[in-house]
Structure formats: C-alpha cells, structure tokens
Amino acid sequence: MTHAISFFTTPGSDISTIASIVIFTVPGVIIGGQLGPAFIRRVPEQRLIHTLGWLFFAIAGLTVFETVVL
C-alpha cells in the first residue's frame, strides 16, 4: 500500500498517463461486454469471420504503410 501512496504523491510521476489509459479502457471494456454478446447473436458467424479478417488486414496494411512511408 505504501508503494501506491508514494507513487501518487511523487511529483512528476506518470499518473496522467495511467489515468488516460484507465479513462479509455474502462468504458471500452464495459461497452464491449454489453454490446459484444448482443452483436454476436445477430451477425452470422461466417460474415463475422470475413469482416474481422478484412478489418485486421486493413489495420495491418495501415501499420505497414505508416512504418514504411512515414
């Protein structure tokens, strides 16, 4: 417990970085946990597999593009 207290009271600690991660992660987990099961029941499995495959392919392509070109 004393480590946590000293971390939060130390000037210049990375608390702002951790806070921003938590601020974006917690709502994402809550929304994903609620909407994910409802979404998976309504979308056919084969369509979901193809859509996620193309999504991951696009993300990989953008990552490679940014690494090589930019």
C-alpha triplet 20, 23, 29: angle, nearest 5°: 130
Higher model confidence: residue 13 or residue 35? 35
Q: What is the pLDDT of residues 44-69, one digit of tens each?
A: 999 999 999 999 999 999 999 999 98
* Per-residue pLDDT at 19: 78
Q: Are 7 and 13 in contact (CB under 8 A)?
A: yes
The reply to whether 30 falls in a domain is yes
Helix (H, G, I), strand (E, B) or coil at 7: helix
For residue range 29-43, what is the model confidence (pLDDT) as tens digits? Answer: 999 899 989 888 999
| Cα–Cα separations (whole angstroms), residue 42 to 29, 37, 52 | 20, 9, 15
Q: Which two tokens mark 61? A: 């392509």
Domain limits at 25? 17-68
Query: Has residue 44 been placed in a domain?
Result: yes
Gap between the Cα atoms of 48 and 26, Å rounded: 25
User: Is 36 among the domain residues?
Assistant: yes
Is 24 a domain residue? yes
* Number of domains, the chain: 1
Q: Is residue 11 part of a domain?
A: no
Q: Is 2 a domain residue?
A: no
